[in-house]
Structure 1
Amino acid sequence: MLTSPLTITAEARIAGQLAMRDVWRASELAISRSTTCSTGHAALDAQLPNSGWPRSALIEVLVQQAGIGEIQLLQPTLASLSRTQRIALIQPPYLPHAMACKSWGINERNLLWLRSASSADALWSAEQILKNGSCGAVILWQANVRPEALRRLNLAAQSTDTWLWLMRPLSSSADASPSPLRLALRPALGGVSVDIIKRRGPHCDAPLFVSLADMPAGRHSLETPHEITAQRTPAVAAARNAAPVLV
């Protein structure tokens, strides 16, 4: 049987497209030209497209409760970025502790702590930082985010060379989101249980255990939710003491 030259050309084109790094099959982890940085945890890197946190993308971290180790999970990345770039912390539930950041290798002089009067102001601040590229990374804590706000954050992240993590309650996992990467975190003895609920690739059937026991500054408590790098303070005290702690 003779094959039309047009058929051969079409088949060659399809084969070439499949060979491109920007084309991925749903049964495989996506590999693209987008920039990523290692999470610092080999088991987690192995389950993420391009083996790390994607830059210029909205990354959602959904936590069972604040202070179960979500910042410890990001510590290797934050330590690396803070050497030369600023990191914005917007509406964190705890006051970051400068000495603990030092013990983690995070340059506290490059931390920018923002407290906004409302969720709308916090989202606006995050969008402006992403648009002007003044920080290497942004971590935003929000309990309730409207779908249109998520779309704006995602578009703003795509237009910049900044890493963006959005911390939300675990209950938000049922909500639709434009984020290409969503992780659900639960406390586990000596670390955290990470469930990858959305990624560019096949569904992750079982949660991963990420050990945090060997991280600097010791273990985090499973009985009392807190971060080693943070200390909950009243609003007035936080405002009074912020200057000596953060830049």
Structure 2
Amino acid sequence: MGAVVALERLLDQRQVWRGRQVQARPSGLQPSGHAALDACLPDGGWPVAALSELLLASPGCGELQLLWPTLARLTGAGERVVLVAPPFVPYAPAWQAAGVDLRWLVQVDADAQDALWATEQCLRSGSCAAVLCWPQRADDRALRRLQVAAETGAALAFACRPQQAALNPSPAALRIALDSRPAQWRVLKCRGGLPPVTPIAWRG
């Protein structure tokens, strides 16, 4: 009986994929701000309280253009967004032009060894709406900790990693590859449904 109860709990928490079964959308829908992308995702936007991986052809190849609409919406509502050890110094005028309210944007400087720990603490705190990190190295165990932390703190977690990481499995609810030539997004994995076959073109 205990195993049955445990399984039901996992199903209720959306931890087990039930194939193509139609599921109700979660509360607190988080649209990406890109209609073509939202139309491809089972939840109609970013997975709520979950880890999303952005797999980059190269650092700065379009992850900010992908995330800015969401970050602008969150900071515009007075919710905190945290950047943990970004690879480049954020250019404030560009963030402002994208609609991000800098009063709610926080940057945490950390070395490679501490960046994942800092990201996990921010996610668990419950005081952050979204946390972005660019881990140089992240194994399955580290990513799983970020996934659990995002659930605990009810936050959006974004891990920007090299595209080579797509060769390894990941506990992330969503994995999107960002290509530079051609400029497109490819959904590699999405919890609750099958990823679309056709890439989504975009212009940076």
- Whether TM-score is above 0.5 comes out as yes
Structure 2 residue 105 is the aligned partner of structure 1 residue 114: no
The structure with the largest alpha-carbon Rg is 1
CA contact (8 A) 2:40 2:195 kept: no
Task: Give the distance between the partners of 2:96 and 2:171, measured in 1 at CA.
Answer: 35
Aligned partner of residue 54 in structure 2, secondary structure: strand
What secondary structure sits across from 1:197 in the alignment? strand
Summarize the alignment of residues 40-119 of structure 1 with structure 2, pairs less than 5 Å apart.
Answer: 40-83=33-76, 84-119=78-113
Given candidates 166, 184, 191, the residue that maps to 1:193 is: 184
If the length of structure 1 is used for normalisation, what is the TM-score? 0.71
Measure, in 2, the Cα distance between the counterparts of 1:29 and 1:99: 43
- Name 2:29's counterpart in structure 1: 36
Answer whether contact 2:85 2:133 (CA < 8 A) is retained.
Answer: yes
1:202 aligns with 2:199: no
By how many angstroms is 1:36 displaced? 2.5
Q: TM-score, normalised by structure 2?
A: 0.85
Contact 2:85-2:111 at 8 Å conserved across structures = no
Contact 2:131 / 2:155 at 8 angstroms: preserved in 1? yes
Q: Does 1:150 align with 2:140?
A: no
CA displacement, residues 61-96 of structure 1 (integer Å, 9 cap, x when unaligned): 101001111101111101011120111101111100
* C-alpha spacing 1:143/1:29, structure 2 compared with 1 (3 Å): farther
The C-alpha deviation readout for 1:94-117, integer Å capped at 9, x for no partner, is 100111111111111211111212
Number of equivalences:
189
CA root-mean-square deviation: 2.0
- Change over 3 Å in CA distance of 1:30–1:60 after alignment to 2: farther
In the alignment, the residues of structure 2 paired with residue 171 and residue 34 of structure 1 have an alpha-carbon distance, to the nearest angstrom, of: 33
Report % sequence identity.
38
State the distance in 1 between where 2:131 and 2:120 align: 10
Q: 4+ residue stretches of structure 1 with deviation over 3 A?
A: 22-25, 27-32
- Retained in 1: the 8 A contact 2:112–2:135? no
Counterpart amino acid of residue 94 in structure 1: F
Query: What residue ranges of structure 2 are gaps of 5+ in the alignment?
Result: 1-11
Distance 1:146 1:68 in 2: 23
In structure 1, C-alpha distance between the alignment counterparts of 2:163 and 2:116, rounded to whole Å:
19
